[in-house]
Chain A
C-alpha cells in the first residue's frame, strides 16, 4: 500500500524559503499514471491546492502561488519536494503531500489519494 510522509522544518522565518520533502514508500514514483503534489490547510481553515508534477516533467501550479512555488521530483530517492519562497505569516499551514490519480491518463477524471499525514509549518520570526 502506497504511503506518503512529509518532512521538513516546522518553523520558517518570514521572507525565507519553505522547503518540504515527501517520501514515497510502497510504490514507484515513476509510475505512468500519477502526478505528485501538495495541498495546504491554514489552522482552522479549508484546503488549498498548491500544485503538482509528473515524474517526467509536466507541472501545474495554483495561479495565486505560481510565482513562488517549485515542485520537483527525485526518482532516485522516491521523493518529491516543495519549495515556497518569500513566505509570510499567511503561509502558516499544515502541508500535505498527495498523489493525483487519473490526470496523467489522457487528462481524465482524477482525484487525490492517498494523502500524507501532514506537517505543520509556522512562519514566524
Chain B
C-alpha cells in the first residue's frame, strides 16, 4: 500500500504569512494527489485536486504543486479563516486510498 507523510505535523503562523506544507508518497503517484482543509467539528473540504488544480470557489491564495512522490500546498498570505488542519490524499491506488496524517496550522 502507498504511505503518505506530511511535514510539518503542526505549525504556528501569523495572518499574512506564506505557509508551505509538504506531502510525500512512498511511491510515485503521478499527479493523483488531493488536498483537503478541515476545521474543528466540520467535514473536510476539497481545496486542490490532481496536485495543482484549484477547486471551484477556493481562494486563489491556495496553490498546489508537485508530481511523482513530492507535493506542496502553499497558502500565499494566511487569512484568519485558514487556521485549520490540512490533509493530503493519494487517489492513485484503487486498492486503498490513503490520507496523510494531517498538518495543523494554528495562530502564532
Pairwise interchain contact A47-B49, C-beta atoms closer than 8 A: no
One digit per residue, 1 when the CB lies within 8 angstroms of any chain B CB and 0 when it does not, for chain A 72-102 equals 0000000000000000000000001000001
A-B contact count (CB 8 A): 59
Q: Is the interface of B mostly helix, strand, loop or mixed?
A: loop
A15 sits at the interface (CB 8 A): no
Pairwise interchain contact B94-A60, C-beta atoms closer than 8 A: yes
Q: Is the interface of A mostly helix, strand, loop or mixed?
A: loop
CA distance A79 to B97 in the complex (A): 22
B17 → A minimal CB distance (Å): 25
B50 sits at the interface (CB 8 A): yes
Pairwise interchain contact A111-B91, C-beta atoms closer than 8 A: yes
A106 sits at the interface (CB 8 A): no
Given contacts A46-B101, A49-B99, contact A111 B87 (CB under 8 A): no
The range of chain A's interface size is: 20 to 34
In this complex, what residue of A is CB-closest to B43? A115
Pairwise interchain contact A49-B98, C-beta atoms closer than 8 A: yes
Pairwise interchain contact A111-B49, C-beta atoms closer than 8 A: yes
B81 → A minimal CB distance (Å): 18
Pairwise interchain contact A116-B99, C-beta atoms closer than 8 A: no
Interface size for B (C-beta < 8 A) is 25
Pairwise interchain contact A49-B43, C-beta atoms closer than 8 A: no
A63 sits at the interface (CB 8 A): yes
Chain A residues contacting B95 (CB-CB under 8 Å) are 60, 63
A113 sits at the interface (CB 8 A): yes
A47 → B minimal CB distance (Å): 4
Closest 6 pairs (CB-CB, A-B) = A113-B46, A115-B43, A111-B49, A49-B97, A47-B99, A111-B34
Interface residues of B (CB under 8 A from A): 1, 31-32, 34, 36, 42-46, 49-50, 55, 87, 89, 91, 94-102
Interface residues of A (CB under 8 A from B): 46-49, 60, 62-64, 96, 102-103, 107, 109-118
Q: Given known contacts A109-B50, A111-B50, A117-B43, what 9 new A-B pairs fall within 8 Å (CB)?
A: A46-B87, A48-B99, A49-B98, A62-B96, A102-B91, A112-B34, A112-B44, A113-B46, A115-B45
